[in-house]
Chains A and B, each alone.
Chain A
Amino acid sequence: MTLQALLVVAAAIFGIGVYGALSQQSFVMIMMGLELMLNGTILAGGSMWALTTGGSPKGQMLVVVLMTVMAVEAAMGFALVIGIYRVRKADITEKIKRLKG
């Protein structure tokens, strides 16, 4: 497995995540798109650590930070889904377009 192959796989996962985050209507499905983008990023970070840094643990630290980002995104996303459902009874993006001019 070469670095190029790993990065192309990571790019494919990232691209699918971009498609999902932009196309889905349901909030939780949008979150899944974001998570898939982070999944690709984690794969790219891990493979860069393994093949270009000579085993320096600082490369792995980047992946640890990415996982923190993912956990924060999930926590905030779930909280916002609950909050917006409570106030607007909305579970898809089309139900909260009242602010749209």
Chain B
Amino acid sequence: MDAEAALWTPPKLEGDAEPDILAALKQVPLFDHLSGRDLKKIARLLHERRYQPGEVIFREGDPGAGMYIVRKGKVNIVIRRPDGSEQLVAPIEERQFFGEMALLESAPRSASAVAADKSELLGFFEPDLESLIERDSKLGSKVVWNLARLMATRLRGTTEMIRKLKQEASSTSATGSEGM
């Protein structure tokens, strides 16, 4: 037993998760309506990763594996335009998250993520979600349900945006034809 303990030291997250990790998880809609006990279970699954400024977290086109929550620091989400130039889509601040689409399918990443500052991220990946569903299906289904709700909200937002763009385009074309 002593030899086992000497060979392998358990990671810090076992038992009580650090308070700031639980606080970060509470900010993520994916973990809405979860009890403190449930959040601790999720916290045990998370992977802590540290990045230097300018270090790439993932690249556009790489197969996605899961989502990240910014524990400390800042992350830039950048897309590449057809002409090769880059656009900063959004800076992700502390306690915000990104990459959650990859929890559902390992499709290519639609943007790159780069650490803007020295950053600490918490990763929650598809294998972790699968493991959660296998070992605690009740909690797993709550997370999947939240993920579905999040996707529905995103879809509604995108539909609304398309509707507005269409309206703008039609009003612009109407103004143009009046001008002629």
**A and B assemble together:** no
Residues of A whose CB lies within 8 Å of any CB of B are none
Residues of B whose CB lies within 8 Å of any CB of A are none
